[in-house]
Structure 1
Amino acid sequence: MTTIRIKLLTASVAVLAFGSANAASIYKTDDSSLILGGRVQANYNSVEATASHDKAAVETSARLRVDANTKIADGVKALGFAEWQVGAETSQNGKWNTRFAYAGFKTDNYGTLTFGQDHTGIYYVIDRTDVFSEYGSRGNTYWEFGGRQEGQIKYNYTNKGFVFNATYQSAGLNAVNNGAATSVGYTFDFSLPLVATVGYDYYDIRNSTDDRNSVAAGLSLGTEGDGFYSGLIYQFTDYDESKNKNGWEALASYGWENGWVLYLGYQNLRQGSAILRSNFIGELQYNFNSNFRVFLDSELGVTDIDTVDAYGRKIQSTGKRSDDKVAIAAQYNF
């Protein structure tokens, strides 16, 4: 069976689903293909990094994905993509949670239209810094409703460095009546590619008058995992009733040809005058090949964090930093 390296293109943005991922081509012709892939990961997590926060432990998880497409007209393909994850040491042991599940159409010249569960349109901005294996991407509000939203209609158009994404969400399982998101970006073809992007999202919250919307901007320089890469994002989130949130993230990384990659980053999230998150993140990984890698991931608190009431108003400082976390992991991709 031949393994091939593939870069998964979601309807919004090209995303490496498992870092350096391989997949098995179960069926392939000039007009159709069916690809099966996934990963198995084992972590040794510190106390605060475990699901129970009780004691340090080994925790494992697995993912499975299916990627299929078939030609239905000249320049038009129908596509379907799904991905699930299961954790071995959780209270939901054995339950497969859906990460992605969408179907739609991909054209040669007019973009991609999909229906189902996927990242929202603003993720193209958040993705500038969402590169850490375990921690990171918490200096923003994108993940407040789970990030990958169900019930979406999604459109992506990419052409000569220009990227446009738009999503409309009809309903959600995470207290969302409806929502919309969009982003635009452009890649400048320098010696190191420079990506500049801005985005917007809106959510009508079920059983609440505290609806929210946000604007975000991001920059990245280089190619993640290949030589030098850096990313920076800022997001401002406005709530109808609660205090507004300001978040930003920054990182720098370098990937060597011998398989080593080092990541260093910082994230900060505030609501009104309250500090909700202030962390340094570091990761060192070694890729034996495109299938197998090991990594050390850590998150270290920087400043004391605050408690807030239901409307995000600061109550008091906790007098301590957020809990430090460490994970040592081995990951096999297939």
Structure 2
Amino acid sequence: MKKTILALTIPALFATSASAVTVYSDQGAQVDVYGRIQYDIGELKGANNEDIGGDGKARLGVNVKYNVNNDVDLIGKFESEVAAESSQNGKFNSRYAWAGFRFMGTTDLTFGKSENPFVQLSDVTDIFNLWGASAYSHNWRVDDQIRVSYADQGFDLRAAYAFADDNRTSDTVGAKNQYSLSAGYAFATGPGELGLVAAYEARNSNEVNSDEEEWGLGANFSIDGFYFGATYGETDFDAGSDERFWEVAASYNVDAWTLGAAYNNRKETQGAKDKLVDEYLLAVQYALNSKAKLYGEYVINDLSNSNDRYGVGIQYNF
């Protein structure tokens, strides 16, 4: 993802991004490698019969770039994750696999499995290591997707179209095609910085009356170690079971410590008007250095059929 003013305004304050290392650079070609090793322990699922358990995973990614001329680069990305649990049998999960072009250093056109533009909205409140951003219904990464993005002068514009593909049912059950748009702008406001985001998505389904549309708005503000973010949106289903979601998140960073809190809510706006998500999140993180950290999180779940969750973990990025 291209780092812009907006990307710096709404960082994953708890989920530190990996820092890539250049392993090859010659005559306009560059290959960067990055990864993550993480282990978490606690009551991670909140099931009624769950004991304290652990969850380990490792992630490895590669970014490639080849300079064609002064205005065009060929770019590509592959990232895979493997779970350490015996029940997973070392199964690899492809997170990203795309190739494309970068024009003028500001505009990317890519093809393959890439990030959903709607993520630009959820990034406003998705700032933790274990949980958070539970009120959204979009898919974080979508395959068979054509994606274009523009980032410059505080603007961050993204659009994507995903083709119908039977092999994509693992990401979106019964999916035919999908359209996604998002737009963000960040600007300085005195000593702080303000960011605004809007996003829209339409998903078509093979199932009758299962097409849906989702839209949302978000804003964030950062100043002197404080970060505040909030989002609001609605999901409209052809079947009529429409839903509303909203989230707020805040954090404060001082030296190696970061404290955070959030509230996530999603409920039906028609029929029984049941609450689907209703939870509070408390978090703490300690940075051992720029690439390693310890963290703990606790989720207070107000739904009658779900228990609280808690966990601690260690993560190393390279």
TM-score scaled by length of structure 1: 0.85
Correspondence 1:259 to 2:256: yes
Structure 1 residues 255 and 110, CA gap change in structure 2 (3 angstroms): closer
Question: Structure 2 regions of 5+ residues with no counterpart?
Answer: none
Q: Is the 8 A contact 1:69 1:77 kept in 2?
A: yes
Structure 1 residues 35 and 214, CA gap change in structure 2 (3 angstroms): same
User: 1:102 matched to which residue of 2?
Assistant: 98
Question: 2:88 aligns to what SS in structure 1?
Answer: coil
Q: Is the 8 A contact 2:106 2:152 kept in 1?
A: no
User: Offset at 1:284?
Assistant: 0.3
For 1:186, give the aligned amino acid. Y
Q: Which runs of 4+ in 1 moved over 3 A?
A: 13-18, 47-50
RMSD: 2.3
For 1:28, give the aligned amino acid. S
For 1:235, give the aligned amino acid. G
Q: Is the 8 A contact 2:209 2:237 kept in 1?
A: no
Structure 1 residues 167 and 268, CA gap change in structure 2 (3 angstroms): same
User: 2:239 matched to which residue of 1?
Assistant: 241
User: 2:56 matched to which residue of 1?
Assistant: 60
For 2:208, give the aligned amino acid. S
User: Offset at 1:47?
Assistant: 6.0
User: 1:168 matched to which residue of 2?
Assistant: 161
User: Offset at 1:53?
Assistant: 5.8
Q: Which has the higher contact order (CA 8 A, sep 6+)?
A: 2
Q: Is the 8 A contact 1:20 1:290 kept in 2?
A: no
Question: 1:323 aligns to what SS in structure 2?
Answer: coil
Which string of whole-angstrom CA distances, capped at 9 and with x for unpartnered residues, describes residues 228-265 of structure 1? 11110111000000410100000110111x21111100
Question: 1:125 aligns to what SS in structure 2?
Answer: helix
CA distance in 2, matches of 1:110, 1:44: 41
Q: How does 1:35-50 map to 2 (within 5 A)?
A: 35-46=32-43, 48=45
For 1:37, give the aligned amino acid. Y
For 2:264, give the aligned amino acid. Q
User: 1:140 matched to which residue of 2?
Assistant: 136
Alignment size in residue pairs: 303
Q: Is the 8 A contact 1:155 1:166 kept in 2?
A: yes
Q: 1:77 aligns with which of 73, 88, 102?
A: 73
Question: Structure 1 regions of 5+ residues with no counterpart?
Answer: 1-7, 306-319
Correspondence 1:179 to 2:175: no
CA distance in 2, matches of 1:157, 1:188: 17
Q: 1:116 aligns with which of 112, 116, 130?
A: 112
User: 2:18 matched to which residue of 1?
Assistant: 21
User: 2:307 matched to which residue of 1?
Assistant: 323
CA distance in 2, matches of 1:98, 1:242: 34
TM-score scaled by length of structure 2: 0.89
